[in-house]
C-alpha cells in the first residue's frame, strides 16, 4: 500500500479488521508501505495498489478477489488459494530475478535522495540536477562501453 493511494485508504478499515481476525484464521497479516520499502515493491513486482499476496511454505499467490472482509476470510477458511496459480518461479519474490529488481528499486530511491539533497540542501536548480544525472549516465555508459 501507499499512504497517498485512494484505493489503499478505502480498504484500510477492512484490512485492519482482517488483521484482527488473523489469529483465529491461523495466519499472519501485514502491510508494507511501498514508499518506505521500495525494494519490496520491486521484489514483488507491485504495479498496482493495493496489491495483496498470499504466501504459504514459500509459495506466493496474488490475491485478485473482492476486497470485503468476508471474501478475504473465505479465501483462507475455504482454502480458495489452492485453486490460484502460484507466481511463476522466475517472478517469485525469492528468485534471483526479483532480487535484482529489488536492487533497481533501491537504486532509484538512492538517486531520488541524491536529487533531493542537491536541490533541497544545496539549492541546485532542478534542471541542473537532471543535467548532472544525464552526464553521469553518459559517462558510466561510456566507461562500461570501453
Catalytic residue chosen out of the listed positions 3, 4, 5, 10: 5
Catalytic residue chosen out of the listed positions 8, 46, 98, 118: 8
Residue 8 known to be catalytic: yes
Sign of CA pseudo-dihedral 117, 118, 122, 125 = negative
Sign of CA pseudo-dihedral 129, 39, 103, 61 = negative
Task: Report in angstroms the alpha-carbon separations of 144 from 51, 138, 139, 140, 141.
Answer: 37, 10, 9, 6, 5
Residue 101: CB atoms within 10 A of its CB come to 19
Distance of CA 100 to the CA centre of its chain: 14
Residue 25 known to be catalytic: no
Distance of CA 79 to the CA centre of its chain: 25
Active site (catalytic) residues: 5, 8
Amino acid at each position: 500500500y501507499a499512504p497517498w493511494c485512494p484505493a489503499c485508504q478505502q480498504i484500510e478499515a477492512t484490512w485492519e479488521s482482517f488483521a484482527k481476525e488473523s489469529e483465529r484464521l491461523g495466519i499472519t497479516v501485514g502491510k508494507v508501505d511501498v514508499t518506505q520499502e521500495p525494494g519490496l515493491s520491486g521484489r514483488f513486482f507491485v504495479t498496482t495498489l493495493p496489491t495483496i499476496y498470499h504466501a504459504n511454505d514459500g509459495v506466493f499467490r496474488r490475491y485478485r478477489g473482492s476486497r470485503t472482509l468476508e471474501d478475504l476470510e473465505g479465501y483462507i477458511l475455504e482454502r480458495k488459494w489452492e485453486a490460484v496459480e502460484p507466481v511463476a518461479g522466475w517472478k517469485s519474490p525469492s528468485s534471483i530475478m526479483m532480487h535484482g529488481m529489488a536492487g533497481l528499486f533501491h537504486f532509484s530511491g538512492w538517486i531520488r535522495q541524491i536529487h533531493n539533497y542537491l536541490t533541497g540542501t544545496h539549492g541546485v536548480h532542478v534542471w541542473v540536477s537532471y543535467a548532472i544525472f544525464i552526464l553521469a549516465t553518459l559517462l558510466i555508459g561510456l566507461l562500461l562501453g570501453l
